Amino acid sequence: MDLRQLRYFVTVARERNFTRAAEQLHIAQPPLSRQIQLLEEELGVTLLSRNSRPARLTEAGRLFYEQAMDVLNRVEQLKHATQQIGHGQRSMLSIGIVPSVLYGGLPALVRRLRQERPDMEVQLIEMMSLHQMEALLNGRIDVGFGRIHANFPAITRVVLREERLVLACPADSPYAAQPIATPLPLAVLADHRLIVYPKVPRPSYADQVLGMLRERRVQPREIQEVSELQAALGMVAAGVGLCIVPASTRTLRADLHYRLLDDKQATTPIIMSYRANDNSGTPGLMLRLIREIDAQKPAWLKYSYNRLGKP
């Protein structure tokens, strides 16, 4: 299956007539019919009922038509954006992110960045903190926002803030009887299964949490590793265990309760990384916008949950 076949099929489906479709496509009708036939053979389904006049889409054909239109529209958008960037009409900024930073100030930063640089195409790419380092070095991304401290001489890393950690528990848990601001000792985890994420790659945020517990000599009853934050919180909601998460993620699920941990050092950093030899001015612009956003004291930036760095 190729884009030419998709365009042929969409034209036939829209015209409901092979002759008119062939005229629009500037090809003869037999090769057009053959391409549609090859497409159907590859899919193993009939897309067009040829026994009716005009030609009628089958149920599978209707689905394929809608999806083919989406693909072709996306290809046109991709082509247009690539031409703009290639001709210098727009620039591209690729930002690597760990998912949890989306619940803090990153959306506000991207909005402000687009206002300041309307000529810039901003692309967000989900990737773990260590993967961001490799992506920065090979040029796949321009800036990364992660949570893992790492030393790469060719990469500049700025700690934007240290975010307090909270314990996520089911709404019917005994720990849900107190408000979030009432600290909970880490020692309670000795009686529970702890759910940590991500399972891979390592080291990761999971190792931050486990390392903190080892330093405090707290041993959970059991440790279960899962792939991502959403899966971890879903398991907490199901009563499988408890999970330590950044405070900004507490708005993710209304069916959970959260408690600050009784340890002022129980924090996780938000770190902005970029190539040390980046002379584009974009990292400096982003750091300036971060300072301006923080100065406005937005609702998500509760200072009881964050210790600001000095970007």
- The Cβ of residue 260 has, within 10 Å, a number of other Cβ atoms equal to 22
pLDDT at 206: 93
For residues 186 and 10, give the distance between their C-alpha atoms in angstroms, rounded to a whole number: 60
Which residue matches tokens 């053959």? 34
226-243 b/e with 16+ CB inside 10 Å = b?
A: beebeebbbbbbeeebbb
3-86: CATH number: 1.10.10.10
**Topology given in CATH for the domain delimited by 161-267:** D-Maltodextrin-Binding Protein; domain 2 (3.40.190)
Beta carbons within 8 Å of 249's beta carbon, 6+ residues apart: 100, 103, 229, 233
Tokens matching residue 37: 């036939």
Distance of CA 191 to the CA centre of its chain: 33
Residues of the chain with CATH 3.40.190.10: 93-160+269-308, 161-267
Mention the CATH class of domain 93-160+269-308.
Answer: alpha beta
pLDDT at 310: 62
For residues 137 and 142, give the distance between their C-alpha atoms in angstroms, rounded to a whole number: 9
What is the CA angle 277-279-285, rounded to 5? 120
248: nearest Cα among 148, 163, 126, 168: 163
Q: List, for the chain, all residue ranges whose pLDDT scores fall below the cut of 50.
A: none
pLDDT at 276: 94
Q: Is 201 helix (H, G, I), strand (E, B) or coil?
A: coil
Q: Residue 93: in which H helix or E strand, if any?
A: strand 91-97
Pair 268, 208: CB distance under 8 Å: yes
pLDDT (tens digit per residue) in 251-291: 888 899 999 999 988 999 999 999 999 988 999 999 999 99
For residues 57 and 67, give the distance between their C-alpha atoms in angstroms, rounded to a whole number: 14
Pair 81, 121: CB distance under 8 Å: yes
For residues 157 and 265, give the distance between their C-alpha atoms in angstroms, rounded to a whole number: 21
**In the chain, pLDDT over 70 holds for what percent of residues?**
96
Pair 160, 290: CB distance under 8 Å: yes
pLDDT at 311: 52
Residues of the chain with CATH 1.10.10.10: 3-86
